[in-house]
Amino acid sequence: MVRLYVWHREYALIEPKPIDSNAHPNLIDRVAHAAVAEVVSGMLIGLGTGRASNRVIKALAERVARDRLDIDCVCTSSATEALAHELAMPIVQFNEVEQVDILIDGAHEVDHELRMLKGHSGAVTRQRLVAEVAARRIYIAGQDKLVEKLGTNSLLAITIIPFGMASIRARLRDMGYGGVLRHSLDGEVFVTDGGGVILDTRLPDRAIEEIAEELDHVTGVVDHGIFLNEADTIFLDCKDGSVKRLDRAAST
């Protein structure tokens, strides 16, 4: 495959060294290591945002050091970039990238069809942009995040532009998306890296595809946390310490 970003390299197909789980059994983040197991030298890796993604980034940094991987990374938020810098991960600006080999991110709620709710970390637009250009998309979540119906335990994040915020919120409220404006811990309105603000609302009792389609056509809505088709694989962190893998069925 021809690399479409500035730093062109061919893959170095090496077998990842096995993790010695007996050495430090309580320190091995099995689900994060499962998510980064496919990474090989020459790849451009998309790094997600949030607590689950932070686990992935740390596991990937361990693999880079242990297996001497030669990779580049693109980040989906300033917080992710700060952690990647701290761990000495090589970073490429997404503005210079046309395609990513693997995106690894977290999910806040998933169903059995691998549809997801995301956006609790406030970077949903950048996460979706990187996902759309990734050849493979891997997500991790806790076993308790697997639900029969999206919205069971999580709110829907809707990112809107600040200009005309009152009128946008009024229209969304009339459509059944009341919600509250997200604030940071210091009481200030939370602002995304892209300058948007976020409404957190309950999902209406309607088909999730219908909700996503409706929100996609509301003027002033930048993005939302419904991810219908992005996940190729989801690794679940089970309470008994095991990892469960869910794969999207191949298209026929």
Per-residue burial over 97-108, b if 16 or more Cβ lie within 10 Å, else e, is beebbbbbbbbb
* Eight-state DSSP code of residue 77: S
Q: SS3 string of 121-154? A: CCCHHHHHHHHHCEEEEEEEEEHHHECCCCCCCC
Looking at beta carbons, which pairs linking 180-189 to residues 24 or more positions away fall under 8 Å?
Answer: 182/122, 182/157
**Helix 51-67 and helix 78-86: axis angle, to 10°?**
30
Contact 32, 58 (CB under 8 A): yes
Q: What is the pLDDT of residue 251?
A: 60
Q: For the domain bounded by 30-148+228-247, which CATH number is listed?
A: 3.40.50.1360
Domain residue ranges in the chain: 30-148+228-247, 156-225
Q: SS3 string of 174-206? A: HCCCCCEECECCCCCECECCCCCEEEEECCCCC
* Amino acid present at 115: R
Which residue in this structure is represented by tokens 């709110």? 155
The CATH superfamily label for domain 156-225 reads: ACT domain (3.30.70.260)
Block means of pLDDT (10 residues each) for the chain, 252 residues, are 33 39 52 97 98 97 96 98 97 96 98 96 97 98 97 97 97 95 94 96 96 97 98 96 92 54
Domain 30-148+228-247 identical in fold to domain 156-225: no
Q: What is the pLDDT of residue 28?
A: 62
Cα dist from 49 to 22, 81, 126, whole Å:
30, 9, 9
Sheet containing 180-181: order of strands: 180-181, 197-201, 156-160, 221-224
